[in-house]
Amino acid sequence: MDKRTPIIIDCDPGHDDAIMLMLAVGCRQFDIRAVTTCAGNQTQDKTLLNALRVLTLIGEEVPVYRGCEKPLFRNLVIGDYVHGESGIDGTELPAPGFAAKTGSAIAAIAAILEKATEQITIVATGPLTNIASLFLAFPELKPKIKQLVLMGGGITRGNYTPLAEFNIYIDPEAAAIVFNASVPLVMCGLDVTHKALFFEEDIERFRGMGNRTGKAVAELVQFFSVFYRSNRPELGGGAALHDPCTIAWLLEPSLFKSKPCFVDVETQGKLTTGATVVDFYNLLKRQPNTEVIYDVDREAFVNLLFASIQSLP
Ligand code: RIB
Ligand code: CA
């Protein structure tokens, strides 16, 4: 009997998505039924290629499916100003050792949910276009989802606009569908991910790990840090490892602090479109729909990553 937790991962690799995948594989605690890619940090062509290259690097062949090309109603805006031309600049990744599966990500996730004999956890670390499309096309499959653990949003501020975090901002309508879907949600927003920081000494520790994956993590974070050091000086020189917080929370929730809150998404505001409106003090007296994660033990988070990635090639 496979004791591992069955999960589906939807991501837009992306430096921190890549490290999230390494953690998800290296911890050996998850039965990864599929990896699906979304457009966000880069175009779908590039995020799909990057997912295949990262999984090849770590020697893990899992079914990979291509997701939606663009947001539900808006033009795609990419995050190349952080992640570079390839979407994962800064390290040499191998060419894919295997091909993506044919067929759409949405149909593939639906088939996995349909066939599953137990509930499946979904992890989403990019814009929520694929997830919203799944909920719209297959609402009857929502009960097969144990929980959706997503990186996105924030209680107090954004990182793409003053109040909107990138993943939510790129497809706010999709995010609004997801937060109103009555599926159990866990939100790792900027409040926690801006505490999940890697500093120079952490980079050097991974560089000296002795395997190719540790070296790749060091190079990825080194590149990622360039943006943070010049644009987020308040983080003290650290780079925010946003996406790995989702998997780390699934592995060790005790490292985090969270609160059940009612959350919805602004899609019309002139200045606020893409904001996750988190009712932290329950002022609206609405039923909480999201476990909002807002703090992490940084050192324990880094050690968890280190221990998991040590097991990879
Ligand atoms: O705002 C951070 C999020 O946007 C992360 O998921 C990062 O990979 C980018 O997609
Ligand atoms: Ca991402």
The answer to whether the CB of 126 is under 6 A from ligand 1 is yes
State which fold the 5-309 domain adopts: Inosine-uridine Nucleoside N-ribohydrolase; Chain A (3.90.245)
Q: How far apart are CA 195 and CA 190, in angstroms?
A: 8
Phi/psi of residue 179, each to 5°?
-70, -10
The token duo for 161 is 């606009």
Ligand 2 mean position, distance from CA 70 (Å): 15
**Inter-residue contact 194 to 296 (CB < 8 Å):** no
CA distances from 95 to 50, 51, 56, 106 (A): 9, 11, 8, 25
- Which amino acid belongs to residue 162? P
Is 12 close to ligand 1, i.e. is its CB under 6 Å away?
yes
For 93-109, the pLDDT digits (tens) are 999 999 999 999 999 99
The Cα 75–Cα 71 span in angstroms is: 6
Spans of all domains in the chain: 5-309
Residue indicated by tokens 């009555």 = 182
Distance 242 CA to ligand 1 centre (A): 6
Supply 48's token pair: 């799909």
224 C-beta closer than 6 A to ligand 1: no
Each residue's pLDDT tens digit in the chain (313 positions)?
779 999 999 999 999 999 999 999 999 999 999 999 999 999 999 999 999 999 999 999 999 999 999 999 999 999 898 888 999 999 999 999 999 999 999 999 999 999 999 999 999 999 999 999 999 999 999 999 999 999 999 999 999 999 999 999 999 999 999 999 999 999 999 999 999 999 999 999 999 999 999 999 999 999 999 999 999 999 999 999 999 999 999 999 999 999 999 999 999 999 999 999 999 999 999 999 999 999 999 999 999 999 999 999 9
DSSP assignment of 9-51 equals EEE--SHHHHHHHHHHHHT--EEEEEEEE-SSSS-HHHHHHHH
Identity at 303, one-letter amino acid code: N
pTM of the prediction?
A: 0.98
Give the number of other Cβ atoms within 10 Å of residue 134's Cβ.
Answer: 30
Atom of ligand 1 nearest to the CA of 240: 2
242 assigned to active site? yes
Report d(CA 73, CA 184) in Å as an integer: 25
277: left (phi over 0), alpha (psi -120 to 50) or beta: beta
pLDDT tens per residue, range 183-214: 999 999 999 999 999 999 999 999 999 999 99
